[in-house]
Amino acid sequence: MYGMINRAVKGLAVDRYGAETWARIRVLAKVDEVEFLSMEQYPDELTYRLVAASSEVLGVPADQVLQAFGEYWIEYTAEAGYGEIMRAAGRSLPEFLANLDQLHTRIRFGMPQLRPPSFSVTEAEDGTLLLRYVSEREGLAPLVVGLVKGLARKFGESAEVELVAPRTKDRPFDEFRIVRTAIVGTA
């Protein structure tokens, strides 16, 4: 994956837990790089090692690390030069989710080796959203939970996100139910 991902993993650890904790994570993960270059390719496996080491050092399950990273990513990208792309992707949560593939297509102009996920969304009659997520990578469903929660917050909402149908061999996508529970600050 592009180094931007690992930079953000580091950013989250340093911002929340300090440079010393990050150093312990990096050493445990056997990662030599002190800095990551946003536009360089790194093996996916390095990122997975950072997640596993974060989980161990912080004493929280890896799923929670991924979820926290997803929420962080929404703020990180907006501040890392992608604010305009984020703004252009939609003015509501359903609109934004429907435009996710287009968003990654735009990012691919600057990152030609990007191997992005693919999403589709439908709105049920009761307003619940169903999100399907296709990925060539394993184990990232908790990341999607955090990303969607972060997006909801960006729109002044709060959302419950549940993986209702994990992918199988015959059904190659994870399906999430998104219940938008509260509108924050817009009474």
Token pair, residue 18, equals 């300090």
Taking CB under 6 A as the rule, does residue 62 contact ligand HEM? no
Strand partners, 182: 158
Contact region with ligand HEM (CB under 6 A), list: 55-63, 122-130, 131-139, 173-181: 131-139
Please give the Cα distance from 60 to 84 (Å, whole number). Answer: 34
Binding mask 96-125 for ligand HEM (x = CB under 6 A): ----x--xx--x---x--xxxx--------
Rank residues 4 and 13 by Cβ distance to ligand HEM and give the closer one.
4
Contact present, 9 and 49 (Cβ < 8 Å): no
Please give the Cα distance from 77 to 102 (Å, whole number). Answer: 16
CA dihedral of residues 1, 54, 86, 109 (deg, nearest 10): -10
Q: Which of 93, 144, 152, 178 binds ligand HEM (CB under 6 A)?
A: 144
Taking CB under 6 A as the rule, does residue 23 contact ligand HEM? no
Tally the residues of the chain: 187
Binding footprint of ligand HEM on the chain (CB under 6 A): 1-2, 4-5, 77, 82, 85-86, 100, 103-104, 107, 111, 114-117, 135-137, 140, 143-144, 147, 151
